Amino acid sequence: MPESIPADSVGLVKPSTIHIDTPLQLDCGKTLPSYDLVYETYGSLNENGSNAVLICHALSGDHHAAGFHTMEDRKPGWWDTAIGPGKAIDTNHFYVVCLNNLGGCKGSTGPNTINPETGELYGPDFPIVTVPDWVRSQAMLAARLGIQQWAAVIGGSLGGMQALQWSISLPERVRHAIVIAAAPKLSAQNIAFNEVARTAIKSDPDFHDGYYIKHNTLPRQGLGLARMLGHITYLSDEAMGEKFGRELRNGAIQYGYDVEFQIESYLRYQSTSFVERFDANTYLLMTKALDYFDPAQAFNDDLVATVANIQAKSLIISFTSDWRFSPERSKEIVNAMLAAGKSVCYAEIEAHQGHDAFLMPIPRYLEIFGTYMQQIAAEGVK
């Protein structure tokens, strides 16, 4: 917890909730008659709303991207390294909006909220949502906030996919798209990782087909295993070796099946802390949204045709040690944009942290990111 608020922090922030009564037709064929979205904002919206930036979160993220909710918070929002006065996303210039996506578990309508038709929690009955569904709901939020066009839509990983989808689905409403550590669709290996994680959750005896709340329990073991698997894929071998190596927890081998290596202890800690703050049904939903993301499918699998109507200028960033969304996947997007005659910049950052590098305060990464954002700010109000 901070003894005082750092000068480059957005400070103490409070989330807001917006209720939207306009029905949302989902890709799965179902309709949400109404829904709530929880969001946070940082900075001030200018008179004509042209300095607004949308931050899209990754799989286990939420609306709390920067600052602190209380002085007792153990740490700030998940992207505090990038958002704040003088930071890459400078709140002296931009009005930053970050929301908890539909299907999330941090206040927006999702599995752990009440289904108005039954008066009970949605649970596993909450419909499958997709990245295009999220974009449509985010557009409704933007309209309610008086934002007709985003100066930039920004995200890493699954958030980067949302930024790309925004520029494809609503090209006139995005001036810049910043896509970080993402891909135009998942590889078979990535889908396989997600399926193993879902199987771990669904195989937990406490899962009860997703109705675990009715049984007054949680699938802690299954969700914990899913988190451990996911966390391994977010780090590189080098990062793990540098941080833990083969260091023993108690200094000597015990010749047993309990925790012996520090990496085992770390993964168990990540598992235990995650299951107390995240919902298992939401985890299933988010991984499915990842699996289904494939905007080129609607264009006969032609990625060049997919990006042909994009109006936004784009910045694509990848990291050398990211083996889950490798630089080659980012280059697929870049090459398609170049072939379609679009304005695109690309940066491949030398980094050993793996996929999680997009969350890290890596100087070269933040320098490039910040310089691009400064150029957006220099465009002035439209």
Q: Which residues are the active-site residues?
A: 157, 322, 355
Q: Which residues of 1-29 are buried (b: 16+ CB within 10 A; e: fewer)?
A: eeeeeeeebbeebebeeeebeeebebeee
Neighbours of 92 (CB within 10 A): 11
- 108 contacts 101 by C-beta, under 8 angstroms: yes
Separation between Cα atoms, residue 260 and residue 214, nearest integer Å: 37
Which candidate, 134, 12, 141, places its Cα nearest to that of 66?
Answer: 12
Kindly compute the dihedral angle of the four CA atoms of residues 172, 177, 179, 184, in this order, to the nearest 10 degrees.
Answer: 20
Hey, what are 349's tokens?
């950052």
CB of 158 closer than 8 Å to CB of 290: yes
The Cα 375–Cα 324 span in angstroms is 30
Burial of 342 (0-12, 13-18, 19+ CB in 10 A): buried
Q: How far apart are CA 359 and CA 79, in angstroms?
A: 6
In which residue are the tokens 């590098």 written?
A: 357
Three-state DSSP class for residue 155: strand
Q: Which amino acid is at 226?
A: A
How far CA 13 is from CA of 9, 42, 54, 86, 144, in Å, comes to: 10, 8, 17, 18, 20
- CA dist list (Å): 338 to 95, 175, 308, 343: 30, 17, 10, 7
Residue 244's identity, in one-letter code, is F
